[in-house]
Structure 1
Amino acid sequence: MSKPPSLMNRYRWYEIIGIYAGIAVFLSFVLSPFVEGFLVSLKPLSQLFSSPYRFWPENGSFEAYRTMWEHVPGFGWYMFNSLFISSAITLITLILVIPASYAFARFEFRGSALLLGGFLAVKMFSGAVLLIPLFRLMRSFGLLNTYFAMIVPGVAFIIPSAIWLLRTYMMRIPKELHEAAYVDGASHFYTLRRVILPISMPGIAVVAISAFIEAYAQQFIYALTFNSKSEYMPLPVGLFAYFGRQEVVWNELMAASFVGIAPAMIAIFFMQRYLVSGLTAGAVK
């Protein structure tokens, strides 16, 4: 029996060329800022504003990756703060979102639709709009200049989208599994822990990755507003403090930025298998 042709073999040659050309154009727009930023980090400072402009660095080196550690003495500590804050936000978000998503996906109760709509309404507000109320709230609880001043708002703004994402995944799990566990005498907590949770791991991985990336990216505005102590500064505020006051050393700033995003890139690289399976799971159920 002959093997059926693959999906790409069903296209004509010029259609395949058009598909790959469109992908190449899309990737060029997406990746060009990262490529330019990396090349800037390799250029000496004298070449950055030379005329005519040279895209490829002449006598490029990784010297900026060494000197930026000297110009930003607390760079390692700032990276630790960013990783700690992002990891704490991700962990707390998962602890709160998993049972909430299970409840919204499996139980019908009064006000559930209103609550879900309220979660979407929260995402419509920018964090900058709520800075003053959040500042007064943090000050009244004595949380200013602490890690909690950045963790609590981060969790609050990530939870709504995380609940919607994980709830959609859990709704695709067959209800018969929940009903079978209930018939066998299992409690709701036991069913969640031993039945639903193992099946939901791809979806949980997607939520964890998205929460970590969002927490890593949104630290600047909260840290700049709610913190004034260097020992609690995350990386974005630390770089702003040293590179944003008088003169911007662009090659060192780009080098520090690429070192700063390395943990998030490493996490995505090792978790991409779960990310793809979680995003596509349930599509054929």
Structure 2
Amino acid sequence: MRQPNSMINRYRWYEIVGIYTGIAVFLTFVLAPFVEGFLVSLKPLSQLFSSPYRFWPENGSFEAYRTMWVSVPGFARYIFNSFFISGVATLVVLLLVVPAAYAFARFDFRGRGPLLGAFLAVNMFSGAVLLIPLFRLMRSFGVLNTYLAMIVPGAAFLIPTAIWLLRTYMMRIPRELEEAAYVDGAGYFYTFRRVVLPLAAPGIAVVAITTFIGAYAQQFIFALTFNSKTEYMPLPIGLFAYFGRQEVVWNELMAASFVGIAPALIVIFFLQRYLVSGLTAGAVK
């Protein structure tokens, strides 16, 4: 009788070497900018443009992480603004996307296909193309230089992708569970709240994480266009406003950038188990 391992371990040694070599090359290109940026934050300014180039810092320290809090006025406020804008945008997206994805997954209504196609077509347009119409719209509603001016466009651009992701997940939930609830006398809203939502929780977690990361990453263009007040600036605009108008202190800029992405990394770290379970759910029946 053939052993199970003989069916699984069918790669030759050179194929295994090729696979791991490809993974190593891929990770090198992905991680190299982050490693170089972190090392730059540890170097004194005198070593940044020295010749010959030194990859590893000599007498490196975390001094830039201390001085950048003093050098960048309102740095803590910028981090709070980025986290607040991303968090509220994620909440708005979830409130709209969860029922919409369920409707697209379960109900056959007129125009469902074209509407899904329109949602997908929205992702083909860059946010820069719609900046002028959005600016006029924000000005007409009187929300320029407010959090809403950055939250609403950010959420609008993230909703189509979120609907497609969550709709696909909800289509995997067996209809028989909902039909059994209907037979027992449950209504649509009760079934959605007590049967569908608990089963869709891993998929909702995936959508929430990807939406938060997307909202955190797309703040620059909307904040640069729709806001000019310092108290509402997110981190990318705050760093741009400080380091872009004078001499760039590269080690402090890199230190501020790594501190700025810390909230997103913390969110991913604590929610990664939900992300993994959501991505693998439905793979095995």
TM-score band w.r.t. shorter chain:
over 0.9
Q: CA deviation at 1:184?
A: 1.5
2:140 maps to which residue? 140
Q: CA deviation at 1:5?
A: 2.2
2:223 maps to which residue? 223
2:114 maps to which residue? 114
**Cα distance in 1, alignment partners of residues 13 and 87 from structure 2:** 47
Q: Is 1:169 matched with 2:176?
A: no
1:184 maps to which residue? 184
Q: CA deviation at 1:284?
A: 2.4
Structure 2: which 5+ residue stretches go unaligned?
none
The residue identity in structure 1 corresponding to 2:116 is: L
SS, match of residue 11 in structure 1: coil
Counterpart mapping for 1:74-223 below 5 A: 74-223=74-223
Residue pair 1:8, 1:16 contacting (<8 A) in 2 also: no
**Cα distance in 2, alignment partners of residues 98 and 153 from structure 1:** 19
SS, match of residue 58 in structure 1: coil
Q: Is 1:15 matched with 2:28?
A: no
Q: Is 1:36 matched with 2:36?
A: yes
Q: CA deviation at 1:19?
A: 1.6
Q: CA 1:7–1:272 in 2, change beyond 3 Å: closer, same or farther?
A: farther
| Per-residue deviation, residues 102-148 of structure 1 (Å, max 9, x unmatched) | 00001100001111011011111100010000001000001001000
**Cα distance in 1, alignment partners of residues 183 and 151 from structure 2:** 41
The residue identity in structure 1 corresponding to 2:256 is: A
Give the alignment's Cα RMSD to 1 decimal. Answer: 1.5
SS, match of residue 128 in structure 1: helix
SS, match of residue 192 in structure 1: helix
Identity %: 82
The residue identity in structure 2 corresponding to 1:278 is: G
**Cα distance in 1, alignment partners of residues 161 and 114 from structure 2:** 15
2:232 maps to which residue? 232
1:264 maps to which residue? 264
The residue identity in structure 2 corresponding to 1:163 is: I
The residue identity in structure 2 corresponding to 1:203 is: G
Q: CA 1:273–1:3 in 2, change beyond 3 Å: closer, same or farther?
A: farther
Q: CA deviation at 1:7?
A: 7.6
Question: How many residues are paired up?
Answer: 285
Residue pair 1:169, 1:203 contacting (<8 A) in 2 also: yes
Q: CA deviation at 1:8?
A: 6.3
**Cα distance in 1, alignment partners of residues 150 and 168 from structure 2:** 28
Q: CA deviation at 1:12?
A: 2.4
**What is the TM-score normalised by the length of structure 2?**
0.97
SS, match of residue 5 in structure 2: coil
| Per-residue deviation, residues 188-213 of structure 1 (Å, max 9, x unmatched) | 11111100100111100110000000
Q: CA deviation at 1:14?
A: 2.4
Give structure 1 regions of 4+ aligned residues with deviation exceeding 6 angstroms: none
